[in-house]
């Protein structure tokens, strides 16, 4: 994801091929996924208008194939939430992340996407000075992340959640408990970095995201 231009170029070819077939045949393809996969690096690069255009097209395709309010709509609104979060439209971001959780949790209440939606809800709430509600979001996110650790094979999702919990607890004066969460997060981060299996982030704040699935950063 940190090589956004290269990622976009690769997805461009898939989109070009998909646009070259009939509308009916395209409905048998994962065309909306191609558009979402181009929107994600566009968001990372700050190309928000291009990302929104791809999301508009993806949503129209999703509705025509899967109907309204599908799990895939949840993925799309999650990306919209990331855009709103990035530009400081915090109320909109919170609504998007809550809708993403609602749509993606249908039939999959412990899916890792719920951890991500809850995590970003918390990040927005922290920026809105609502640590109490943010902590509630993070506590649920952590339960789901830890539940999924055997399947995921590591505690990458849990690490960034624990870090945010530690920061809130420190602000609340729970110093010992905060230190416990922070130590656990940093231990996991160090262990995963030492595997050499993860991309190097441009800065420390983004480095915690590298351990999460690309779809849920």
Q: By C-alpha distance, which of 67, 82, 89 is closest to 113?
A: 82
Domain 1-109 has CATH 1.10.760: no
Cα–Cα distance, 81 to 140 (Å, whole number): 19
Distance CA 174, CA 22 (A): 60
Give the pLDDT of residue 7.
86
204 burial via Cβ count (<10 Å: 0-12, 13-18, 19+):
exposed
pLDDT of residue 214: 55
CB-based burial label for 181 (10 Å; 0-12, 13-18, 19+): buried
Q: How far is CA 83 from CA 1, 49, 89, 132, in A?
A: 15, 10, 8, 24
pLDDT profile of the chain (217 residues), mean per 10: 78 95 93 96 94 97 94 95 97 98 90 92 97 97 92 83 96 97 93 78 66 60
The answer to whether 202 and 2 are in contact (CB under 8 A) is: yes
Q: What is the pLDDT of residue 119?
A: 95
pLDDT at 92: 98
For the chain, domain boundaries: 1-109, 131-217
Return left, alpha or beta for 107; rule: phi > 0 is left, psi -120 to 50 is alpha, else beta.
Answer: left
Among the listed residues 97, 77, 94, 90, the one whose alpha carbon sits nearest the alpha carbon of residue 32: 77
What is the predicted pLDDT for the residue at 117? 95
pTM of the model: 0.90
């Amino acid at each position: 994801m940190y090589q956004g231009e290269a990622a976009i170029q690769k997805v461009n070819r898939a989109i070009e091929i998909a646009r070259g077939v009939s509308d009916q045949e395209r409905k048998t393809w994962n065309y909306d996924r191609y558009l979402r996969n181009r929107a994600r690096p566009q968001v990372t690069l700050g190309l928000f208008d291009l990302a929104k255009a791809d999301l508009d097209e993806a949503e129209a395709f999703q509705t025509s194939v899967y109907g309204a309010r599908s799990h895939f709509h949840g993925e799309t609104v999650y990306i919209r939430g990331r855009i709103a979060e990035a530009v400081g439209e915090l109320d909109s971001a919170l609504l998007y992340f809550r809708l993403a959780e609602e749509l993606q949790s249908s039939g999959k209440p412990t899916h890792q996407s719920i951890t991500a939606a809850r995590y970003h809800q918390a990040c927005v709430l922290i920026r809105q000075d609502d640590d109490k509600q943010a902590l509630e979001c993070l506590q649920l996110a952590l339960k789901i992340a830890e539940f999924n650790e055997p399947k995921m094979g590591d505690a990458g999702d849990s690490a960034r959640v624990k870090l945010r919990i530690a920061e809130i607890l420190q602000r609340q004066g729970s110093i010992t408990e905060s230190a416990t969460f922070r130590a656990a997060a940093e231990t996991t981060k160090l262990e995963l970095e030492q595997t050499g299996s993860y991309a190097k982030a441009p800065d420390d704040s983004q480095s915690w995201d590298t351990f999460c699935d690309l779809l849920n950063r």
